[in-house]
Amino acid sequence: MGAYNPHVVTRLISEALERQGYGSLTALAKACGVQVQTVSKWRDGEVVPRPERWPTIEDALELTRGQIAKESGYTGPTLDDLPIRVARLEGQIAEILQRLRPDTTGDGS
């Protein structure tokens, strides 16, 4: 997991919720599939949402996509990195499977 400033994450969520009014707690909770109490804890800084939730939070709160990561100084992987990471893993799995396969040339080498 990359490093980031959790206080910035809390501030962004808190400010966006304040701009949109109290009803946004419920809307954000529903959008993220969490309880309203969880969103309240995010707002109050008791808990910081995991980075994989940030795009959903940004969309629900009408923040710019990537804003939480950028402003908090997040240095870990993002959803944009996922296809690249999957491709690398697929290549590694193919190499491992190739090494594990028995010799099929018939010459014993």
pLDDT digits (tens, 9 = 90+) for 35-75: 999 999 998 999 999 888 898 899 888 889 889 989 999 88
Q: Is the pTM of this model over 0.75?
A: no
State the fold for domain 6-75.
Answer: 434 Repressor (Amino-terminal Domain) (1.10.260)
Domain-wise residue ranges, the chain:
6-75
Q: For residues 12 and 71, is the Cβ–Cβ distance under 8 A?
A: yes
> Running DSSP on this structure, what letter comes out for residue 75?
-
Instruction: Return the structure tokens found at 44.
Output: 């109050």
